Amino acid sequence: MDLASVVAPESLLEPQGRFLSDLMGRGVVGRADAVVLPSSVDEVAAVMRWCYENDVALTARGGGTGLAGGAIPVDGGVVIGFERLNRVRQFDPLLWRMHVEAGVTTGDIQRLARENGLRFPPDPGAAETSQIGGNIACNAGGPHAFKYGVTGQWVTGIEAVVPPGEIVTFGGPLRKDVAAYDLKSLLVGSEGTLGLVTAAWLRLVPAPELELPVVGLYRDAEAGISAIERVLGSGVLPAAIEYLDDVTLRVSGETYPFGLPAGAAFMVITEADGAAVEARRVAGELREALSEDAVAVHAPEGADEVGSLWRWRGGVAFAILAQRGGAFSEDIAVPLDRLRDVALATERIGARHDVPALSFGHAGDGNIHTTFLFSPDEPDEEKRADDACHELFDLAFELGGTVTGEHGIGWLKRGQLIRQLGETGYDLHTRLKRVFDPKGLLNPGKKL
């Protein structure tokens, strides 16, 4: 029995370019024997059953915005994409919850929530393309994860297809449920290696009445990191604490909506949110904490100004990429007391490998996008940028951190998990993998 006999003809595609790579770059293009875009959960189950009966690898693909090569079919077989499984099954704004299929984009979820006075807080940067299934598979974060947490914290239930092709549900439209082992959370962040997420119940919150960013600009990283430490110690809870270093400001500062003052070489973005009175109080405290040693403090107020700040922040990754045409942007995370070490080590690592280096990211979570730039026309420079990334991973371990705070292990960081967990912890992971996927057909070569 061939694959065509278990799926609808319109669900089956010839393997095409866009299904063979993601945004990790590094010239890695996979190969696939077929691409399936199912339009129902039953079809997902049929595909997995067929793969299990025929010993064929099965790689899940969401929006393909991953930066770790997780969706690349490195072992051939079938790619299963979720873009046609994109219905909102149920939305109960008065109960602050939504039931969506895996292929709904992050941006559509955020918009639907916002149009109804609610908020889905996870805000990973490629929201218009990434899908909720991919966000769950990577446990994606974003700037506002500082106050609101990462994707998994907003998922109360998951429907998934697990080998050899069974549809299972863990959790649901429940706000509390401690009956079982927490298999829902096990699937969150499993990067398509344990099962295929087909739908999720999401928790929402009322949208804040006011969002008030407060931006501090400093003459150097030392002064900026001290400001971050003062914010953390100030006793208020900002929604976000982001930073951008001097090189990042140089490449993206021209379009900063409020104009970069002379001498500004480090930026800290914080935000107060909530009911108007509370947001104003917190913004005042943030301004006080950020003002010491600042070259300038900007506190935009109107919705347009606030929107333009975050749009600019969202565009920083693209301004960076435009510099030399290529950029490897990693996502190590370290304990907060080691943030300074990462910010200062970036330049050192770049210099050692002779590539331009910069860093920015989610400072409040110790989750830093250290980035090495290269020209794709210069293969040797690309190789040196990649080597710099591997030195960065070593640094993450030295500082008691992790090689990934949000992008996942994927293909890029294969081999790193055993270094992070040690043999016993890693062995437990491989045994769990075998329980779910005894034939090892789900996203082979990734995570473990």
Ligand X SMILES: Cc1cc2nc3c(=O)[nH]c(=O)nc-3n(C[C@H](O)[C@H](O)[C@H](O)COP(=O)(O)OP(=O)(O)OC[C@H]3O[C@@H](n4cnc5c(N)ncnc54)[C@H](O)[C@@H]3O)c2cc1C
Q: Which is nearer to ligand X, 61 or 230 (CB)?
A: 61
**Is residue 437 within the footprint of ligand X (CB under 6 A)?**
no
Q: Which is nearer to ligand X, 338 or 446 (CB)?
A: 446
135-164 binders of ligand X (CB under 6 A): 135, 137-138, 140-142
Q: Which is nearer to ligand X, 22 or 330 (CB)?
A: 22
**Is residue 196 within the footprint of ligand X (CB under 6 A)?**
yes
Quote the distance between the C-alpha of residue 104 and its chain's center.
Answer: 16
Which member of 11, 21, 39, 130 binds ligand X (CB under 6 A)?
Answer: 130
Choose one: 56-64, 178-186, 247-255, 430-438; the region binding ligand X (CB under 6 A): 56-64
Closest approach of Cβ 101 to ligand X, in Å?
9
Q: Which is nearer to ligand X, 413 or 446 (CB)?
A: 446
Q: What distance in Å separates the CA atoms of residue 172 and residue 175, rounded to the nearest whole number? A: 8
CB atoms within 10 A of CB 109: 24
Structure tokens at 173: 């439209």
Task: Estimate the share of the chain in helix, then strand, then coil, as percent rounded to the nearest 5.
Answer: 40, 25, 40
Closest approach of Cβ 42 to ligand X, in Å?
15
Q: Which is nearer to ligand X, 192 or 213 (CB)?
A: 192
**Is residue 353 within the footprint of ligand X (CB under 6 A)?**
no
**Is residue 213 within the footprint of ligand X (CB under 6 A)?**
no
Q: What distance in Å separates the CA atoms of residue 61 and residue 86, rounded to the nearest whole number? A: 13
Q: Which is nearer to ligand X, 107 or 173 (CB)?
A: 107
Q: Closest residue to ligand X, Cβ-based?
A: 134
Which member of 7, 112, 197, 272 binds ligand X (CB under 6 A)?
Answer: 197
174-193 binders of ligand X (CB under 6 A): 191-192
Q: What distance in Å separates the CA atoms of residue 67 and residue 408, rounded to the nearest whole number? A: 8
Rounded (5°) CA angle 93-277-364:
80
Closest approach of Cβ 66 to ligand X, in Å?
3
Which member of 58, 60, 74, 283 binds ligand X (CB under 6 A)?
Answer: 60
Which member of 39, 47, 48, 61 binds ligand X (CB under 6 A)?
Answer: 61
The distance in angstroms from the start CA to the end CA of the chain is 31
**Is residue 124 within the footprint of ligand X (CB under 6 A)?**
yes
By CB neighbour count within 10 A (0-12 exposed, 13-18 middle, 19+ buried), where does 10 fall? exposed
CB atoms within 10 A of CB 422: 9
Write out 282-350 in H/E/C secondary structure: HHHHHHHHHHCCCCEEECCCCHHHHHHHHHHHHHHHHHHHHHHCEEEECEEECCHHHHHHHHHHHHHHH
Give contact residues for ligand X (rule: CB under 6 A).
22-23, 59-67, 70-71, 82, 102, 124-126, 130-131, 133-135, 137-138, 140-142, 191-192, 196-197, 317, 406-407, 410, 443, 446
